[in-house]
Structure 1
Amino acid sequence: MSRTARRTARRTALLAAATAVTLGLTGAAPAQAHPKSPDPARATLPAGDGWGSEGAGTTGGSKAAREHVYTVDTWEEFRTALSHEGTAPRIIKVRGTLNATASGCEAFEAEGYDFEKYLADYDPAVWGLDTPVSGPQEELRAASAAAQDKAIKAFVPSNTTIIGVGRDAGIVGASLQIKDVDNVIVRNLTVESPLDCFPQWDPTDGATGAWNSEYDAFVVYNSTHVWVDHNTFTDGRYPDSSLPSYYGQTYQQHDGLLDIVRGANHVTASWNSFEDHDKTLMIGNSDSAAATDAGKLKVTLHHNRFTNVVERAPRVRFGQVDIYNNHFEVKPGQKYGYSFGVGMESRIHAEKNSFSLPAGVGAGLILKKWKEAPLTAEGNYVNGRATDLIAVHNAEIPAEQLQSGAGWTPTLRTKVDDPRSLAGKLAAKAGAGKVC
């Protein structure tokens, strides 16, 4: 290279360096090989990710202005943030554990309510099993229940994102109501199933009566475009095994973990962990709800982990429900009813899921027929082996023959994994505290 050429090259390099310094001083951002991850609180449901991405998709509060971003540390602050007027996008960041029943059940008791007297008044040996309970103690129980209902329910407005901060955010003792709204995201929370302080005794429920409870952890009711992602749902401190018995029946204080009902539509539930619960996930709550539910209840469940759950994973009425890439673990000795409940006019498409069943639990139990409705079940694995769930069910339970062919093919899917990889992958990545 000539001396003149070398001088020109040096001048060019110096000019480039000076320009870079000047840009830095004036605030221009240099290119980054590894740009920072976006704020998870402003994440939206990816395009094509299940029924929740249909149409306008689910964006929640991703576009919230700064004044509509709230960080809450208590149940009262949380409900206040939800109650601010208007439907402008909002983000609510949950820090730590919010407890809706921190004062205990006694805080909701109506004056004069006495559980011991309730038990004495409605003992089947006294009251019988033919007539629903009534009278002063039942009225006081109902008043106490109404006080709890008012205290523990939180109603989520449209265009909202609720997200836990870090790995230890959660809600206990509460019922989150996503009702009559559109465009909601809930992520990264450990949710303990609310405990009904005042279950009602119904002597006419079954041959020997039963205790009936209220309060699902999450309810999606007549709402559209909902994304429930990376949450852990559990009975937590109060598993059913810890509940007492009265009149020879379990004093049932739990209801569902996630119910999607009454005309709800376009919902994606992904990367959640459902743990240690009985009636887990219901889609459509009544055989008589065709007027509100027919043509709706379109729900996608993918990459969810179900461990030590008894039933309803999910139970479906009416909906077109895409169930793929979920893992179901039935533990030795646990009570187990079924996983997929085939109900009134349902159209389940269950594909490439995996199941771990202990000795003595047959694969025929995975499906449960409630009503005549065809379903598709393809590419599923049980204990590491490809299994035709419908054929096995029909062979093992011939009195409940199921028909194959749901009549539709899901198209709103992102990556579909080999079902043989799901047990390890979901143990590592599903649930709260694992949002990227």
Structure 2
Amino acid sequence: MRRRKDRGTGAMLAALAMTLTAIVIGALALVTVPSASAATLFGDDFEDGNSTGWSGSGGSWSVVTDGSRALRQSGTSADARTLAGAGWSDQAVQARVKPISFNGSGRNVAILARAQSTSAYYYLGLSNSGSVVLGKRTGGAPVTLASAPATVTAGTWYTLRLEAFGTTLRGFVDNVQVVTATDTGYSSGRAGLAGYYASASFDDVLVTDVGGPSQPPSTPTITPLPPGVCPTSGTPVGFASVNAWGRSGTTGGAGGSTVEVDTAGELISAIAQTAPLNICVRGMITVPAGMYNVASNKSIVGVGSDAGITGGGLNVGLAVDDAITSPPANAVNNVIIRNLTFRNANDDSINVQMFSHHVWIDHNDMCCGYDGLVDIKRGSSYVTVSWNHVHNHTKNMLLGHDDGAGAQDIGRLKVSYHHNWFDQTPQRNPRVRFGEPVHVFNNYYYYNTDVGVACQANAGCMVEGNYFDRVEEPVSNSYAGPAGRCVARNNVFVNESGQPDCSGTVQEPSTYYGYTLDDPNSVKATVTAGAGVGKIG
């Protein structure tokens, strides 16, 4: 049974205090980030269970549970729109969109920008005619400004982004630009969502300012470094060390050249190169909003304790294709991400997807992004997440993105989480679907107000040797959605922490790799001293 709905006044005040602290920290971070970083104008992930601030016309809008809470337009018999926000000029509207059903041909589900009203706006839509449509409404039927062919599958989540700056409109699907147009009709307006005789779920709505395209150069000069200048050596513990799927452990850029990068163009070019490469990041690099693809055989390592990425995130994986249900030969693999600070990502800080494998995410400092800090999904496996300090962020780490993704996830999502400091991260520490075994050991949990480890959708979680400090619901296999299985052993619970809500059996991680479990009583001191940046070795 869940215990989290009825909290005492003290707990609610404490949670409010934590939220205000996070807001202050986020505001300070925005002040210190260079101006190239986009400022957030509006956001709604609907986790509060309501759609306050949205005003609609037509359709049937309500907050539902669709993986996480989302805003759904349920009917298909209306031209349904809902708007939020203010009269912004230059704006980028982004949301995750899942089409459900269409009524007739030439229908679409869309995000809206510069909306004057519910009948006057620009829109970027996924059409059941097999296309992405960039269009305009002026009170009558939709007018297409640009379109591009696309596979639109009902029941699949897509990330749409519509940028409007000056007279330029640009449309992106899953962080890839697919359409563009110019129009002088609307210079400002609100953001919105729409189902044009179609039903859909919408989640993670984000509106930022945008000053026009600022893409980095495609062929920057990257300076080679002599061996030994950048600390690229190291060996993971856990699933990233396992010999599987044609790989012998995780070595990153071993055997390749070593280069230094200190600009967005250099970084984005280096991580996309096909050859093995050790990439040393110097200083905080501001990248344009978006997720940037990391190719196989890369080590991306910060120099010192002040290196990192702000404004965007790293994507380890191929483009999303729900029709693929087994690991392809070209799946991204053998990637190391270490000793980096991540701030203010407009999506995920690190996303691992589409059967990527042998990935080691280690000794990073992460907070204040929009969506997940470390999300692992769509059949990815043999991943270790270790010695990271994650803090002041709600949607922390997701393993498995949807209750309906079993075709890609069952038998995969084998991930180890160890010696991480989950510091005031309310949920997803991690939230797990399908993976087995998922090994969560020797982590320090501090003041996670919603849940620690949530093990769902028949996942098998081994949770051992952790230190839970002020965590009301430390481990649960009945958090939300289909139940999972979990074994909790040899953990420490202090300062009004609850007890595990666990049942079932789980595969032993020791059948895959050897490990030494630290005394859980020493974990707080060990992890707070060793997790985060500037502490490799």
Q: Deviations over 1:386-413 (max 9, x none)?
A: x9933xx4xxxxxxxx424224343424
Structure 1 pair 363/297, CA: closer, same or farther in 2 (3 Å)? closer
Q: Secondary structure at the match of 2:392?
A: strand
Q: Specify which of 78, 83, 96 is matched with residue 272 of structure 2.
A: 83
Aligned to 1:154: 292
1:342 aligns with 2:455: yes
Structure 1 pair 50/41, CA: closer, same or farther in 2 (3 Å)? same
Aligned-partner Cα distance in 2 for 1:257–1:369: 20
1:194 aligns with 2:345: yes
Aligned to 1:319: 435
Aligned to 1:403: 503
Q: Which has the higher contact order (CA 8 A, sep 6+)?
A: 1
Aligned to 2:241: 53
Shift of 1:356: 0.8
What is the Cα-based RMSD across aligned positions, in Å?
Answer: 2.3
The one-letter amino acid paired with 1:226 is V
Answer whether contact 2:442 2:517 (CA < 8 A) is retained: yes
Matches within 5 A, 1:279-428: 279-320=395-436, 321-330=438-447, 336-357=449-470, 362-363=472-473, 368-370=478-480, 371-383=482-494, 389-390=499-500, 393=501, 402-411=502-511, 412-428=513-529
Structure 1 pair 407/59, CA: closer, same or farther in 2 (3 Å)? closer
Aligned to 1:221: 353
Answer whether contact 2:400 2:434 (CA < 8 A) is retained: yes
The one-letter amino acid paired with 1:91 is N
Q: Specify which of 365, 369, 383 is matched with residue 232 of structure 1.
A: 365
1:163 aligns with 2:301: yes
Aligned to 2:316: 178
Answer whether contact 1:374 1:404 (CA < 8 A) is retained: yes
Aligned to 1:63: 255
Aligned-partner Cα distance in 1 for 2:294–2:452: 29
Shift of 1:50: 0.5
Aligned-partner Cα distance in 2 for 1:177–1:352: 31
Shift of 1:41: 3.6
Answer whether contact 1:378 1:388 (CA < 8 A) is retained: no
Aligned-partner Cα distance in 2 for 1:345–1:51: 20
Shift of 1:329: 0.4
Shift of 1:367: 6.2
Corresponding pairs, count: 290
Aligned-partner Cα distance in 1 for 2:503–2:350: 32
Answer whether contact 1:193 1:257 (CA < 8 A) is retained: no
Aligned to 1:261: 377
Shift of 1:363: 4.7
Aligned to 2:387: 271
Q: Specify which of 89, 94, 97 is matched with residue 281 of structure 2.
A: 94
Aligned-partner Cα distance in 2 for 1:155–1:379: 39
Q: Secondary structure at the match of 2:483?
A: coil
Shift of 1:427: 1.0
How does the TM-score come out when normalised to structure 2? 0.51
Shift of 1:38: 6.7
Structure 1 pair 50/98, CA: closer, same or farther in 2 (3 Å)? same
Q: Secondary structure at the match of 2:295?
A: coil
Q: Secondary structure at the match of 1:278?
A: coil
Answer whether contact 1:44 1:62 (CA < 8 A) is retained: no
Answer whether contact 1:184 1:226 (CA < 8 A) is retained: yes
Structure 1 pair 352/165, CA: closer, same or farther in 2 (3 Å)? same
Answer whether contact 2:468 2:474 (CA < 8 A) is retained: no
Answer whether contact 1:363 1:382 (CA < 8 A) is retained: no
Matches within 5 A, 1:8-157: 41-46=231-236, 49-55=237-243, 56-64=248-256, 68-84=257-273, 86=274, 88-101=275-288, 148=289, 152-157=290-295
Shift of 1:167: 1.1
Aligned-partner Cα distance in 1 for 2:475–2:460: 19
Shift of 1:365: 7.0
Q: Which segments of 5 or more consecutive residues in structure 2 lack a partner in the other structure?
A: 1-226, 319-331
Matches within 5 A, 1:199-210: none
Q: Secondary structure at the match of 1:426?
A: helix
Indicate the structure (1 or 2) with the bigger Cα radius of gyration.
Answer: 1
Structure 1 pair 409/227, CA: closer, same or farther in 2 (3 Å)? closer
Aligned-partner Cα distance in 1 for 2:389–2:474: 24
Shift of 1:341: 1.1
Aligned-partner Cα distance in 1 for 2:293–2:473: 39
